[in-house]
Amino acid sequence: MSVKETNRYKKCKKEYQFRLYHEENINKTKLAKKYKLTLQALNNWIIRYEWNDLTDYVDVPSIIAKNDIEIKSNSKYTQELVEDMYFYAKEILPNGELRFQTKEALRDKLGLSKSTFSKYLNKREFYEAYVKGRAEAEKLIKKLEYEKALDKVALGTKRITKRIEPVFKKGEIVGEKATIMEEDILPNVKALEMGFNKLAPGEYDKKPFVEKQSLPKDIDWENLTEEEIERLAKGEFGGIKGGNK
């Protein structure tokens, strides 16, 4: 087993980079003593394995990283387990749904029995890892929902409604007739611009957008009326200036 695969190396590196990331004072002498290293050995690890490079560092909530968890030799309750709870609790699928939607699914992923999982949830670090993970997931899901809503507005969609009308016979109502109404919701130019800037910041502006759509180049986008926007959506470009017909 290489040095980098040992628990001592992993834990020492994690604590060092956590303190470095949060700009805390790092007492190397105390850190070396805590992990039963010489100061020279610690400095060798820092330099040789580039611990000061935080490019790939992934921060975890302070409540998880700063807690000193008491661990019995035969216990499954470890620092890694608490961090796993946080990461699995916040993991979502590309479609915007939680990967592990229930506590039971999280329990199975962590490989814990029902009783053990319940016992660990009563521990502050473990429970807060779960709560913080779910909070992060909720933020990301809302962001994805907003982006989907923006896409709908930008690209246009259809609105389906049902209209109920009475059916008359000889002047009396004898029943009802349902009519399904389908209405086109036109694309929104402002939302399109926001979408383009989100996908490729700086690559799209009003001028290339106009050219790619073969629209007149002198349209005053800021002053378009609803009627003009509707005509643009139908491909009727003639005479549209945006407030300056």
Interatomic CA distance for residues 173 and 223, integer angstroms = 49
- Report the range of poorest mean pLDDT among 120-124, 137-141, 156-160, 191-195: 191-195
Mean pLDDT score, 1-11? 84
Mean pLDDT score, 115-123? 87
- Report the range of poorest mean pLDDT among 28-37, 145-154, 191-200: 191-200
Q: What per-residue confidence (pLDDT) applies to 200?
A: 58
Interatomic CA distance for residues 119 and 79, integer angstroms = 16
Q: What per-residue confidence (pLDDT) applies to 237?
A: 60
Q: What is the chain's mean pLDDT, rounded? A: 76
Interatomic CA distance for residues 189 and 194, integer angstroms = 9
Q: Is the pLDDT of residue 240 over 80?
A: no
179-216 pLDDT tens trace? 888 777 766 667 666 666 665 566 555 544 444 445 56
Q: Residue 157 region, left (φ>0) first, then alpha (ψ -120 to 50), else beta?
A: beta
Q: Where does the pLDDT of residue 38 fall: very low under 50, low under 70, confident under 90, or very high at 90 and above?
A: very high
Q: Where does the pLDDT of residue 121 fall: very low under 50, low under 70, confident under 90, or very high at 90 and above?
A: confident
pTM over 0.85: no
